[in-house]
Each structure stands twice: as structure tokens, then as C-alpha cells.
Amino acid sequence: MTKVNVKLKIMELFQNFIKRKKQTLIQMKDISREGYFYYEREAVTYMPQYNLNEKYFVIERLKLTKMEGKISYKNEKIGNIEYRIGYYIVGKIGRAKNRWVWGQFCPMIPDNDFNKLFLKAKKEKTIIC
């Protein structure tokens, strides 16, 4: 068996991972680490990086539904809409090895994919502005 076939056998297909995940309510810590925001995912767009099948970009439209604890920014209001841009990637070390994980850092998006991702998100009505 080739190295690529072994890797694909170990790694869950991204489409299966997303179906299994089905998370619609997202909890995020406030910058103070003493409060929480809860967002409902209203829409999402996924797209693989053109030259790396182990990385999928994500654009999400999120609606703030609840806040609790100490909130640093006093202008936040229930019902606010925000967009989150990120990526999932197959981990390489530790517990994350060969598993889809949320990217920890700011997404780096190749020039070939940048416009394509935003046009796809607008077409799918994830971006509504």
C-alpha cells in the first residue's frame, strides 16, 4: 500500500467529518477569559485549498444569541451578526495527528483561492452584504 493510500485510510474524509460535527451553537471565550459568547451558525461555506487537500477554508456567518460572565466589550448586543474566517487542517503531531482540527492561527490563503472562496460564500449566501 502506498504512503498516500495509508494516509487516506487513516484520515477521515472532510465531508464525513463535517456531517458528524453538525455543531450549530458555538461557544467562544471573551478576551477577559471570564465571560462567554454563544453564537448560532446561520450559514457556512467550505472550500479546499487548491494545492493542499488536507486544508479546508471556512467562512461562517454567526449570530450572537447569548452572553454570560464578564464581557470586555460593552457594545455587544444579542442579534449582532459576525463573520468568522478560518480553516480546518489535518493535525501532524500528538492527539491531533491524522485528525481534522480547527486551525489555531490566522488563515494563510493562496492567491489562487482568495477570490474563489469569497465568490463561493456569496453564491451560497453565507456572505449577505
Q: List the chain pLDDT tens, one digit each, 129 residues.
A: 455 544 445 567 888 887 777 777 899 999 999 999 999 999 999 999 999 989 999 999 999 999 999 999 889 999 999 999 999 999 999 999 999 999 999 999 999 899 999 999 999 999 997
In a domain, 109, yes or no: yes
Say what the pTM is. Answer: 0.81
Cell for 26?
A: 458555538
In a domain, 47, yes or no: yes
In a domain, 128, yes or no: no
Instruction: Work out how many domains the chain is built from and give that number.
Output: 1
Residue 76 domain boundaries: 3-123
In a domain, 129, yes or no: no
pLDDT at res. 11:
63
Buried b (16+ CB within 10 A) or exposed e, 24-58: eeeeeebeeeebebbbebebbbbbebeeeebbbbb
Q: How far apart are CA 114 and CA 100, in angstroms?
A: 22
DSSP category for residue 108? P
By the 8 A CB rule, do 75 and 81 touch?
A: no
Cell for 67?
A: 452572553
Q: How far apart are CA 69 and CA 67, in angstroms?
A: 7
In a domain, 107, yes or no: yes
Backbone dihedral region for residue 31 (phi beyond 0: left; psi -120 to 50: alpha; all else: beta): alpha
